[in-house]
Amino acid sequence: MYFSDNDLEELRNGYLAVAGKHQQLTEGYLIRAYKGPRAREYATQGFLRRLKTLVRCIDRIFQILPPDRTDLPTSDELSDAMINLQAFVFNVFGATDNLAWIWVQEKGLVSDDGSPIPGTWVGLREKNKSVRGSFSVEFQEYLKGLNGWFELLEGFRHALAHRIPLYIPPYVVSTDDEAAYRELEDRMAEAITRHDFAEHERLSSEQKALAAFRPHMTHSFEERAAIIVFHPQLLADFNTIEELGQRMLEELDRLI
């Protein structure tokens, strides 16, 4: 098993906490009195829709590939999990932008000439200096602490949108078993050449016994992209969005 018993307990507790956090944050944005309809739309139809999607993606991934799973997933299971991972990353990224748009509308941020600020300026990342500079010092410091998280998120999001989609390897083979794995691969090819399909199937089963599933996600091997263990990362990203959402509500309260 990939995770220790303590890891599994932590993942279980983290997963069980998601629903309550979702409910509380949803209520905070639904009951808020906004200054204008655009801010309310970004909050209820933007941020909260994405938040619901994040929860559903977590649910599906934990159902399809539970942390205590030891057998190799099927191709369809991997595809379904990857679809949910990709949706999750897109909507984490989008949720942060929704929060920025809520702030822009409620704060009434404009360019120096009084025109609406360009959409490319709106966000919570380090490069979004106009928006970041409009927050309280406390919130600016909090966002500064998330710079590394934003950078990792942006890298995965841009790879997903423009280059290589997120990928879950179907299995891994240990270094000690690599030679045996390749030998079985050669013998399987020879069996196919002889039309000995029964032998091919037997060798294939023997080869699969050398493989193990690991809950890893990445995008480009050529780019040497980070390899992430996705169960804890999903929960960590959700918790970051939840905390960010709660802190944004506090920041919005300062405008009243």
Q: Which two tokens stand for residue 51?
A: 């938040």
47 belongs to a structural domain:
yes
Q: Residue 246: which of 28, 12, 46 has the closest Cα?
A: 28
Question: For residue 57, what are its two tokens?
Answer: 């993606």
Per-residue pLDDT at 247: 97
- Report the 3 state secondary structure along the chain: CCCCHHHHHHHHHHHHHHHHHHHHHHHHHHCCCCCCHHHHHHHHHHHHHHHHHHHHHHHHHHHHCCCCCCCCCCHHHHHHHHHHHHHHHHHHHHHHHHHHHHHHHHHCCECCCCCECCHHHCCCCCCCHHHHCCCCHHHHHHHHCCHHHHHHHHHHHHHHHHCCCCECCCCEECHHHHHHHHHHHHHHHHHHHCCCHHHHHHHHHHHHCCEECCCEEECCCCCCCCCEEHHHHHHHHHHHHHHHHHHHHHHHHCCC
Task: List the structure tokens of 36.
Answer: 């204008």
User: Structure pTM?
Assistant: 0.87
Separation CA 53–CA 76 (nearest Å): 21
Mean pLDDT per 10-residue run, the chain (256 residues)?
A: 92 97 97 94 97 98 94 93 93 95 92 81 91 94 93 77 79 68 71 78 70 80 78 95 97 88
pLDDT digits (tens, 9 = 90+) for 109-119: 888 777 888 88
Residue 143 is part of which domain span?
A: 5-163+230-253
| pLDDT at res. 206 | 67
Looking at residue 178, its pLDDT comes to 66
Domain assignment present for 175: no
Q: Is residue 14 part of a domain?
A: yes
Number of domains comprising the chain: 1
d(CA 190, CA 241): 53
Q: Return the closest-CA partner of residue 123 out of 160, 93, 83, 164.
A: 93
Q: Does residue 12 fall inside a structural domain?
A: yes
Instruction: Look at residue 98 and tell me if it is in a domain.
Output: yes
Q: What digits encode the pLDDT tens for the residues 16-33?
A: 999 999 999 999 999 999
Structure tokens at 147: 């710079």
The residue whose two tokens read 């993606």 is: 57
Q: In this predicted structure, what is the pLDDT of residue 113?
A: 77
Residue 178 lies in a domain: no
Q: How far apart are CA 154 and CA 85, in angstroms?
A: 15
Residue 249 lies in a domain: yes
Q: Are 121 and 128 in contact (CB under 8 A)?
A: yes
Tokens linked to 80: 């379904």
- Tell me if 82 is assigned to some domain: yes
**What phi, psi does 69 have (nearest 5°)?**
-70, 140
pLDDT at 192: 80
